[in-house]
Structure 1
Amino acid sequence: MPLPRLAVTAGEPAGIGPELLIRLAATSLAASLVAIADRHVLERAAMRCGLRIELTDDDGSVQTERQPGTLRLRHTPLAVDEVPGRPDPRNARHVLDTLTEAADGCIAGRYDAVVTAPLQKSSINDAGIPFSGHTEFFAERAHADVVMMLASPELRVALVTTHLPLAAVSAAITTEALTRTLRIVHAELRRKFGIAEPRIAVLGLNPHAGESGYLGREEIDTLIPALDVLRGEGMHLLGPVPADTAFVPALRHHYDAVLAMYHDQALPVLKSEAFDRTVNLTLGLPFIRTSVDHGTALDLAGTGQADPASLIAAACMAMDLVARSKASA
């Protein structure tokens, strides 16, 4: 039986991404792993990790088995050699080239999914290229409306806003944004996760979900009217739910996913519980994309000590989503 073809990007070459990719290749994961990276970066990462990895240029052929320690490669050259822990803006174009190959390859059917290692957004911006993250890049490349979700085995959390200053969040919580986000989350819970009737807990923006307007009117003026319209369309929505009680373990069986209003409203809960098992995925794309839930860890880069658990979890989730997609086709 053909193995799923996973394109795996190495992310920031001066970060821990190349070492994580090497450690992923060393596992017995039953997937055809295609690294989109610079060959020499991976060879140096393997040396730092004390692992022998067989790199083979990817010819697009079907694999029915993969031996641990083997990795197919789509060579994408660096501009300058990496120095672990010190991102170089001259390599920004290289990083974007790896993402472009991954996205375009998935759209063209060369890969079944893309799994991304962490990148350094500041280094890309320092190169004079406006860049806000993987999620936004893939959305633009695929011309898709997308939603960021982080998921562990116990909890799924989607976001209305992602990388915004806190002062800008309230203005970004509009009826249109809520409606668009909830429709995508609802559809993807059905399509990607096989949940026939998704139940989504929607967090309030303010403490105590606004306390009947005394702590803010966003719930009254925006959230409740938007949720009522979507309930009329048949969606099962809980809330607005106060964020300080939504994650109580006894309440979690009431919902399949949580919609948070902003990045740090819910993600600290998820990461504190399951940092090494949490996966970042992009909903709404015409292909499957998963990622680690952490950054480039520049202080660990070059030591060979970085923990690959989140990248392994991301690859495993990508495989599960690919299998479900093919089974329902």
Structure 2
Amino acid sequence: MRGELGTGTAQVAPRPVIGVTIGDPAGIGPEIVAKALAHSEVHGWSRVIVYGQALALERIRHVVPEMPRLEVVADVREALSAAHDGVPVVEVTAAFPPDVPIGEVSEAGGRASFAYVQAAVRDALAGHLDGIATAPIHKEALRAAGVPYIGHTEMLADLTGSSSSYTMFMTGPLRIFFVTRHVSLRQACDLVTRERVLETILAADRYLRRLGIAQPRLAVAALNPHASDGGLMGDEEARAVTPAVAEARDRGIQAAGPVPADSVFVQAIEGRHDAVISLYHDQGHIAAKVYDFDRTVSLTLGLPFLRTSVDHGTALDIAGTGRAREISMLEAIRVAALYARPWRTGTGR
């Protein structure tokens, strides 16, 4: 219970309130959310409020019989005002017709998934939620619905009026920031500039301190094989990465690099770096997912609140079958519960 007393006279801190959006209702989002909520430890970590539609969850109950009882509420105030017999679901009014097939890209799915995020962001900005954990949305469905964002990161930055936001991957000891993400590999190479690399180093240092790491040790991955071998294989290291690292050091930041990409992630896992700066999407994604695909969590930093997410897509091919694994959703809720309040207050862990 929130505010209950533990042993002695010390009061147990209230559980953080985490809004969980169910993602595209035609994908595996409802299933992994339902399965995650069936784990009793989730409700010890946090007070969960689901944002979506009970219909989208109930129609997959036959493959998730362990799904807890759902209690539809009109808004977050009702969800927080009293104890509930089931998990409160803020019923978002974006109509998701029951005849829309599971496992197919649809305009309705894109419209609904965007509405769920909008509702959770509104309540987080109003201070009702400590953080948000999101299930996956589908880029093509968003486009079909006319939603002008390619994904959660861009959507959240605009909805919160944030001038910049950064993605950090976290799995076990591995933390990864990205200089570029949702652009082509050709564009990513062109975007590896001294200014962008330095900006990412500075942001990583600032955000890790806010999450409780007093003196972050950062390493920047190289773009080219063997960090270009002194210019034999490209000049991006000499032109962009090395000057950015040098300037970061001049500013008092513990930064190393360029470190060959085939070594830097192993070094971080071994504890030599607190985080790695990945220069492009797959460079960091591959490392995290090979290390532990199911437990990789994406954190969006730079918003007024902390947002975490699973690091996989809607998996339309298995949606509605009961085969989706909820481990990443569990981790997303756990990490949100762990860091959401320190992020809001800037007090660290």
1:43-98 Cα distance to aligned partner (Å, 9 max, x none): 1122331235322215536489887xx31111113342331111211332221111
2:88 paired residue number: 72
1:178 paired residue number: 197
**Partner of residue 199 from structure 1, selected from 210, 217, 230:** 217
1:1-30 Cα distance to aligned partner (Å, 9 max, x none): 222111101111111000111112211112
2:151 equivalent to 1:129: no
2:309 equivalent to 1:266: no
Distance of aligned partners of 1:228 and 1:250 in 2 relative to their CA distance in 1, 3 Å threshold = closer
Distance of aligned partners of 1:72 and 1:92 in 2 relative to their CA distance in 1, 3 Å threshold = same
2:54 equivalent to 1:42: no
Structure 1, unpaired ranges of 5+: none
1:9 paired residue number: 21
* AA of the residue aligned to 1:184: A
1:162-200 Cα distance to aligned partner (Å, 9 max, x none): 1111111122112222222222111111112x1100001
SS in 2 for 1:295: coil
Deviation at 1:261, TM superposition (A): 0.2
Distance of aligned partners of 1:287 and 1:208 in 2 relative to their CA distance in 1, 3 Å threshold = same
CA–CA separation in structure 2 for the residues paired with 1:203 and 1:267 = 13
SS in 2 for 1:162: coil
**Partner of residue 259 from structure 2, selected from 232, 241, 257:** 241
1:219 paired residue number: 237
SS in 2 for 1:277: coil
Deviation at 1:216, TM superposition (A): 0.8
Q: How do 1:156-167 and structure 2 match up within 5 A?
A: 156-167=175-186
TM-score, normalized by length of structure 1?
A: 0.93
SS in 1 for 2:153: helix
Distance of aligned partners of 1:42 and 1:230 in 2 relative to their CA distance in 1, 3 Å threshold = same
Deviation at 1:140, TM superposition (A): 1.6
SS in 1 for 2:294: helix
* AA of the residue aligned to 1:14: A
CA–CA separation in structure 1 for the residues paired with 2:84 and 2:201 = 39
Worse-superposed segment, 231-240 or 83-92? 83-92
Worse-superposed segment, 81-90 or 50-59? 50-59
CA contact (8 A) 1:89 1:126 kept: yes
CA–CA separation in structure 1 for the residues paired with 2:217 and 2:223 = 19
1:303 paired residue number: 321
Distance of aligned partners of 1:52 and 1:208 in 2 relative to their CA distance in 1, 3 Å threshold = closer
2:99 equivalent to 1:84: no
CA–CA separation in structure 1 for the residues paired with 2:167 and 2:118 = 19
**Root-mean-square deviation over aligned CA pairs:** 2.1
Distance of aligned partners of 1:85 and 1:285 in 2 relative to their CA distance in 1, 3 Å threshold = same
CA–CA separation in structure 1 for the residues paired with 2:169 and 2:108 = 31
1:53 paired residue number: 68
Distance of aligned partners of 1:6 and 1:172 in 2 relative to their CA distance in 1, 3 Å threshold = same
CA contact (8 A) 2:268 2:275 kept: no
SS in 1 for 2:116: helix
CA contact (8 A) 1:146 1:184 kept: no
CA contact (8 A) 1:22 1:42 kept: yes
1:313 paired residue number: 331
Deviation at 1:249, TM superposition (A): 5.1
Distance of aligned partners of 1:255 and 1:265 in 2 relative to their CA distance in 1, 3 Å threshold = same
SS in 1 for 2:283: helix
Distance of aligned partners of 1:197 and 1:89 in 2 relative to their CA distance in 1, 3 Å threshold = same
CA–CA separation in structure 2 for the residues paired with 1:196 and 1:202 = 19
CA–CA separation in structure 2 for the residues paired with 1:44 and 1:260 = 40
Distance of aligned partners of 1:51 and 1:175 in 2 relative to their CA distance in 1, 3 Å threshold = same
CA contact (8 A) 1:49 1:305 kept: no
Structure 2, unpaired ranges of 5+: 4-13
SS in 1 for 2:20: strand
Worse-superposed segment, 178-187 or 242-251? 242-251
SS in 2 for 1:213: coil
CA–CA separation in structure 2 for the residues paired with 1:86 and 1:126 = 12
CA–CA separation in structure 2 for the residues paired with 1:87 and 1:45 = 17
1:25 paired residue number: 37
